[in-house]
Copies of this chain bind each other. A is one copy, B any other.
């Protein structure tokens, strides 16, 4: 594609292939009014002196504020701050309403919960076509370890560290008959290790994995029949719903409904037990997920949900997925 035939959307899409973090840049104008916007054209420039840069559209409502302000602050957003990104990418409302801020150098509003913050003095303003390039000297900064909010191809993304072992696993794939890199092996091993730990915890309550899932299913589907329960659990555990429900009934945790002897519901004792095991299972899950790096748990769950849908799109979900909410993406650049 040559310059003469430049299509703005195509160019934007090509630029979008370069992944970036997401920042919010704030300042206070000469009237004392706070201004701020979502920006992904941020980058580092110099270590000594410490300089950073970003670009602002000449059409932006915030341009006069930034052109006259001697100070501004860059906030690098963490993965859980997508709502802030959306808020500051949207024109024409009070972006700071209800937000807790600190006053930084030059009374610039500083946001909370960010991965990194750089408080800057404007060093230079350079011409950059339909944008102005702001170069800031960093006067002060702070940061924390967290998962970053990432923007790629016009959408938010999860970023997770690439383990050098990934390359090895991939390189050695195919040298054995079925090896560590085989998805089936990975899924089996994770599944059995996870339930190996859960089983130990359930054993203390004298519950099996099958009991556990049947309690959970009945808590969500009171009045389900054995056939319905069996169908619901078919994709989760190999379970004979009839045998399990008989065992749960003996222990006084489930009972036939008063209206239909072939349908079941939890008793009060069963509900109490279901809550107890759910808490236990979530505690185990938390314990495991906390051993991962920031952001890895969210990315893993997202990818497992994706995988589940592509392995067997026809499989019935135990709990139906709701329709997708629109997520507000920041403008690619402002």
Contact = CB atoms under 8 A, between A and B. Distances in A.
Contact of A305 (B3, B153, B163, B216): B163
B193 A308 contact: yes
Contacts of A21: 17-20, 152
A156 interface: yes
A268 interface: no
Contact of A141 (B14, B44, B277, B299): B14
Contacts of A1: 140-142
Contact of A164 (B115, B189, B326): B326
A107 interface: no
Nearest to A294: B153
Interface stretch (A27-35, A88-96, A195-203, A246-254): A195-203
Contacts of A312: 193, 196-197
Contacts of A180: 305, 317-319, 321
Interface string A266-298: 000000001101100110010011011100101
A263 interface: no
A6 B285 CA distance: 40
A130 B310 contact: no
A223 B193 CA distance: 27
Given A20-B21, A288-B307, A193 B315 contact: yes
A46 B129 contact: yes
A163 B305 CA distance: 9
Given A20-B21, A191-B188, A304-B190, A176 B216 contact: yes
Given A193-B308, A282-B182, A305-B180, A127 B124 contact: yes
A52 interface: yes
A254 to B, nearest CB: 13
A60 interface: no
Nearest to A144: B17
Interface string A170-198: 10101011111111111111111111111
Contact of A278 (B124, B142, B178, B181): B178
A148 B18 contact: yes
Given A177-B216, A178-B216, A237-B188, A160 B302 contact: yes
Interface of A: 1-3, 6, 8, 11-15, 17-21, 23, 40-53, 55, 76, 82, 115-116, 118, 124, 126-131, 133, 135, 137-143, 145-146, 148, 150, 152-153, 155-170, 172, 174, 176-198, 212-213, 215-216, 219-220, 234-238, 274-275, 277-278, 281-282, 285, 288-289, 291-293, 296, 298-308, 310-312, 315, 317-319, 321-322, 324-327, 332-333
